[in-house]
Each structure stands twice: as structure tokens, then as C-alpha cells.
Amino acid sequence: IFKDDEVGRELTVRFPDGREYHGVATVYDGDHDLALVALRGAADLPVARVAAAAPAVGDDVAIVGQPGTRTPDGEPTGYQPWHVSVGEIRGYRPGARTGEQHLGRTKHDAWTYWGHSGSPLFDRAGAIVALHNSWDSTTAMRHAVTWEAIVAFLRDAGVATR
């Protein structure tokens, strides 16, 4: 959704309960497919913590996301506004887990739709273990930005994870 030069981009952030907030991108890392958005006028929002450790292969995950209303070609999707599914961590793509994340290095099988990119994958304790960002049309495997990349990004941005 962001381009490398889009720090400062303004957008609307919607929550499942219907609340909407104006936001602005404050930090962006295109290699890791991660961004931070500051919300204006938001207070007392629920917080999901980042897990204390990376998930292991076989760990259960749940994903909560907002599927897109249109396909890349502009056709209506007909998807419901919010979607929850469960699955498990299936493995990791080769290479450094903090390496580029355009095709996320965490493999998972929780069902996603077009538009789920950026949706958190939660462990059984409700902590974030990865962020969904893509799927492979040849294998139907879903991919997510690794826990290690998320933690490094937040650390570099000066955001505490504990």
C-alpha cells in the first residue's frame, strides 16, 4: 500500500466496531514491507503485544483481517468486511529471517483473501507472531513478514516491544 517515498502519506484506518481514524505514515521500510501509522484523535484503543519469541513450525495461528472490496482489476470481491481464520506455521523461506520480505519468509496456511496484507497472525496467547503479506498462486501457501523482521523494524524505529 505504501511506496518508499510515502512517509507522511495520509490514510483512513477502520476498526471492526466501525470507528475510523485519520492516520499518517511515520516510518516505512520497503524491503521489509512494514510501516508505522500514527492515528489522530485515537485513545484507549486495544493493544496487541508482539510475542516474546518467534513461532515454531506447527504452532497454531489465527489471522484477523479486512479483505479488500475490489480485485486488482477493480471488480467487486463480495467479501464480508472482516474475516477470521486459523491455521499453523508451515515453515520458513530460505535466507535470513530479517531479509527482504516482499514474499514474506514465514509460511502459514491460515486462509486469507485479497486485501489481507498487513493483517496480524496471532499465537494462542493473542500475541503477534507475524504479519500476512502475500500468497503464492502456484502452491496456495500464504506468507507473512517474520517475527524477527518485525522486532528489528520496531527496535530500529525506537518502539519498545515489551
Look up the pTM and report it: 0.86
For strand 20-29 and strand 34-40, is the pairing parallel, antiparallel, or unpaired?
antiparallel
Render pLDDT for 6-37 as a digit per residue (tens, 0 to 9).
788 898 888 878 889 999 999 988 888 888 99
**Mean pLDDT, residues 118-129:** 95
* Non-local CB neighbours of 21 within 8 Å, separated by 6+ positions: 12, 13, 15, 39, 40, 41, 42
pLDDT value at 115 more than 90: no
Strand 142-145 vs strand 60-65: parallel, antiparallel, or unpaired?
A: unpaired
pLDDT at 151 over 90: yes
- How is residue 121 written as a grid cell? 497472525
40 by DSSP, 3-state: which? Answer: strand
Pick from 53, 58, 138, 127: which is nearest to 92 by CA?
58
Q: Average model confidence (pLDDT) for the chain?
A: 87
pLDDT value for 1: 46
Q: Average of pLDDT values for 122-146?
A: 91
Q: Which residue, chain included where needed, has cell 523461506?
A: 93
- The yes-or-no verdict on residue 61 having pLDDT over 70 is yes
Amino acid 26: pLDDT? 92
Strand partners, 86: 62
> What is d(CA 112, CA 121) in angstroms, rounded to the nearest whole number?
11
- With a cut of 60, say whether residue 65 has pLDDT above it: yes
pLDDT digits (tens, 9 = 90+) for 71-95: 778 888 888 878 889 999 999 998 8
So what's the pLDDT on residue 4? 52
- Answer for the pair 81, 113: CB distance below 8 angstroms, yes or no: no
